[in-house]
Amino acid sequence: MNTTLQTPIDYLKGVGPNRADLLRKELGIHTYQDLINLFPNRYIDRTHYYKISQLQRNNADVQIIGTIVKLEEVGEGRSKRLVATFKDDSSAMELVWFRGHKWIREGLKLNKPYVIFGRTNWFNGKFNMPHPEMEFIENHQKNLQSAMQPVYPSTEKLTNKGVTNRVIIKIMQQLFLETKGRFTETLSHNLLDELKLLGKSEALFNVHFPKNQELLARAQYRLKFEEFFYIQLQFIIKNLIHKSKIKGFPFTQVGTLFNTFYKEHLPFELTNAQKRVIKEIRADLGSNAQMNRLLQGDVGSGKTIVALMSMLMALDNGFQACLMAPTEILSVQHFNGLYELCKQLNINISLLTGSTKTSERNKIHESLENGELNILIGTHALLESKVKFKNLGLAIIDEQHRFGVAQRSKLWHKNSSPPHVLVMTATPIPRTLAMSIYGDLDISVIDELPPGRKAIKTVHRYDKNRLNVFKFLRDEISKGRQIYIVYPLIQESAAMDYKDLMDGYESIVRDFPLPDYQISIVHGKMKPADKDYEMQRFIKGETQIMVATTVIEVGVNVPNASVMIIESAERFGLSQLHQLRGRVGRGAEQSYCILMTSHKLSDDSKTRLQTMVRTNDGFEIAEVDLKLRGPGDLMGTQQSGVLNLKIADIIKDKDILQLARFYAKKILNNDPALIQNENKVLLETYKQLSKYKNIWNYIS
């Protein structure tokens, strides 16, 4: 049989049907190609030997030469284990096996020199090594030892079935033998030359069997670059195809409404970031392609005005626009705010939510279809099939993480041709991550807050400080301020969480009694109408304290609220804490965020709390969050899997990612179809990657 990299792994010498099965199930290795792309997690020095007397209690992998002087089974039943006393000329230690006693015992020889390798533990005053890798010293010396021996990803099952790291090294060596270590180059000569990258074969060899540190580093660099490069290439190609296939409505003019608003009704000077973003959007809308843009801006950065001015561009070109928000409250706030801003412009703007009355609803449907209505704002209600636009030119979606991608595309289909889409999110996603996850969207960032904002002061307090905290609240309320107190509600159904909330509410009612204090409460189990009523009382300033679960997380704007108390703050994720904190600091007053916790805190919780206290910068917070949680988790299950990277690390290697994106863009700019001779290898590889999806499984 002719060996190619697509050859099933069963055909490799030393891999029988059983091992092939294990490799498939445990590591997803089906072919030679999959095996070659199993990259080591780390490397260990197999030329160095420790003395037992030199061992430190830090659990590191060590290699020791010595002999077994005693072998016995100890313990009863489930705690039965095989224990060997292992000696070198400096001291003694124990080797321990919890499983497979019989065949291990039969294989072991007393008083014959072994080289053992593994992780040590310190237990009962001495060192032991569970399940060591063992070799007779003669055999060990026959094998070429390297200062950098690969350690491959493994699973317990693999090790238990005898497919140890040593076995994987052996079959990897076999693979290099059978292929003569020659692998098709997958990057163009231009790239290799310009970036001084190692060739494919050399990189693969040195990543598995590094000749020295420098070659290892260069091998890793090349492979990481390649991995990122093809992901980016894929995104950008998709994006180009999208742009060429899906014609947008070109908004050819910047018209009267936009200009009038800009010159006469703008309530404040735009920040430079806002100006830049509006320009980016304008360029998109003016082109022939359909816009698909993500607008990121921290809470309070002023996305609303950008949304409005984008909608005015649509109107100026004879189109309608809509703005969809995830909750009723938010939609109402958007409507009120935008209505106020557009009062002096001659345009029609309406609100449509689940609670819009039928008569009103019918009017909206009609005026939307005959084109009298210019702007429609609302909730998911906008997606109902009865809602038909005459000519929807621009759809804006606020707080995107509450809407699925499927809903996004529903909006698209409200027209013969899809409208331009602007997605706004206040969840700051590190740019590098956004590039890989929203690779199919263009990204604009408002990275500057309007001037004159007072930074929110954030502190961490323990439950025992509660009396002081309450005193502080009374002082703030006496100055006319309002306060949020938020309880975690991790799962809507968790009875415990409601109990915490209700207990908290009762204690607050006791400490802040009527008639001096009015308190609102809002949580997910309330009827929408009741929720709304309570919310409105707080918005109007009739209540001073709002006790709530995280339902208030998104977008709500009560400028007079200046204190945010977060109870059991250790139970919230970082981005959620940041979102919650963003509910205050919206007015002129100094605002505060108080993170209440119990005394018992995990290291991660401490990091989260310290980060919140240290900074208000959403992007910095997102970076920490990303480090703590990993990218898949950060994006939720919906998007996880996108970043199933083999060798690169989205955080540590973000510079390489940026470089890869830069080159992918540059190459496609000059040669969109990759037909130039120079780029044929890229096209070929790209096609291969798309064909054998299981090779590098980037895109779910």
Tokens of 252: 């050819």
Question: Dihedral of CA 597/603/608/614: which sign?
Answer: positive
Give the Å distances, CA to CA, from 582 to 128, 344, 571. Answer: 52, 30, 18
Of 129, 172, 426, 647, the residue at the interface with ligand ADP (CB under 6 A) is 426
Q: Rounded to the nearest whole angstrom, what is the least distance from the CB of residue 586 to ligand ADP in the complex? A: 6
Contact yes or no for 557/586 (Cβ under 8 A) = yes
Q: Which residues are CB-contacts of 423 (< 8 A; sequence separation ≥ 6)? A: 293, 294, 295, 396, 397, 400, 408, 441
Q: Rounded to the nearest whole angstrom, what is the least distance from the CB of residue 444 to ligand ADP in the complex? A: 12
Which of Mg ion, ligand ADP, none interacts with 271 (beta carbon under 5 to 8 A by kind)? ligand ADP
Q: Cα–Cα distance between 101 and 103 in angstroms, integer? A: 6
Tell whether residue 274 is a contact of ligand ADP (CB under 6 A): yes
Query: What is the DSSP secondary structure assignment for residue 185, as one 8-state letter?
Result: -
Q: Cα–Cα distance between 596 and 152 in angstroms, integer? A: 43
Which of Mg ion, ligand ADP, none interacts with 27 (beta carbon under 5 to 8 A by kind)? none
CA dihedral 214, 215, 220, 221 (to 10 degrees): 70
Q: Rounded to the nearest whole angstrom, what is the least distance from the CB of residue 330 to ligand ADP in the complex? A: 10
Of 36, 299, 435, 552, the residue at the interface with ligand ADP (CB under 6 A) is 299
Closer residue to ligand ADP, CB minimum distance, 22 or 309: 309
Helix (H, G, I), strand (E, B) or coil at 398: strand
Tell whether residue 303 is a contact of ligand ADP (CB under 6 A): yes
Q: Rounded to the nearest whole angstrom, what is the least distance from the CB of residue 207 to Mg ion in the complex? A: 46
What residue spans of 248-353 are helical by DSSP H?
256-260, 272-286, 303-316, 328-342
Among 269-277, 465-473, 477-485, 641-649, the segment contacting ligand ADP (CB under 6 A) = 269-277
Q: Rounded to the nearest whole angstrom, what is the least distance from the CB of residue 451 to ligand ADP in the complex? A: 6
| Count of other CB atoms within 10 angstroms of residue 81 | 16
By CB atoms closer than 10 A (0-12, 13-18, 19+), residue 456 is buried
Residues in contact with ligand ADP, counted by CB under 6 A, come to a total of 16
Of 65, 71, 270, 443, the residue at the interface with ligand ADP (CB under 6 A) is 270
Binding residues among 538-567 for ligand ADP as defined by CB under 6 A: 557
Q: Cα–Cα distance between 540 and 186 in angstroms, integer? A: 63
Tell whether residue 579 is a contact of ligand ADP (CB under 6 A): no
Of 11, 98, 268, 533, the residue at the interface with ligand ADP (CB under 6 A) is 268
Among 141-149, 168-176, 293-301, 595-603, the segment contacting ligand ADP (CB under 6 A) = 293-301
Tell whether residue 302 is a contact of ligand ADP (CB under 6 A): yes
Closer residue to ligand ADP, CB minimum distance, 300 or 504: 300
Of 334, 344, 354, 346, residue with least CA distance to 396: 334
Q: Rounded to the nearest whole angstrom, what is the least distance from the CB of residue 397 to ligand ADP in the complex? A: 13
Among 490-498, 506-514, 553-561, 570-578, the segment contacting Mg ion (CB under 5 A) = 553-561
Of 478, 474, 489, 562, residue with least CA distance to 521: 489
Of 271, 296, 427, 549, the residue at the interface with ligand ADP (CB under 6 A) is 271
Which of ligand ADP, Mg ion, none interacts with 195 (beta carbon under 5 to 8 A by kind)? none
Helix (H, G, I), strand (E, B) or coil at 425: strand
What residue spans of 561-699 are helical by DSSP H?
574-581, 603-614, 618-629, 631-634, 636-639, 654-670, 680-691
Which of ligand ADP, Mg ion, none interacts with 305 (beta carbon under 5 to 8 A by kind)? ligand ADP
Tokens of 503: 């207990």
Contact yes or no for 486/549 (Cβ under 8 A) = yes
Which of ligand ADP, Mg ion, none interacts with 502 (beta carbon under 5 to 8 A by kind)? none
Closer residue to Mg ion, CB minimum distance, 419 or 555: 555
Among 227-235, 265-273, 286-294, 635-643, the segment contacting ligand ADP (CB under 6 A) = 265-273
Residues at the contact surface with Mg ion, assessed by CB under 5 A: 555
Residues that bind ligand ADP (CB under 6 A): 268-271, 274, 297, 299-305, 426, 450, 557
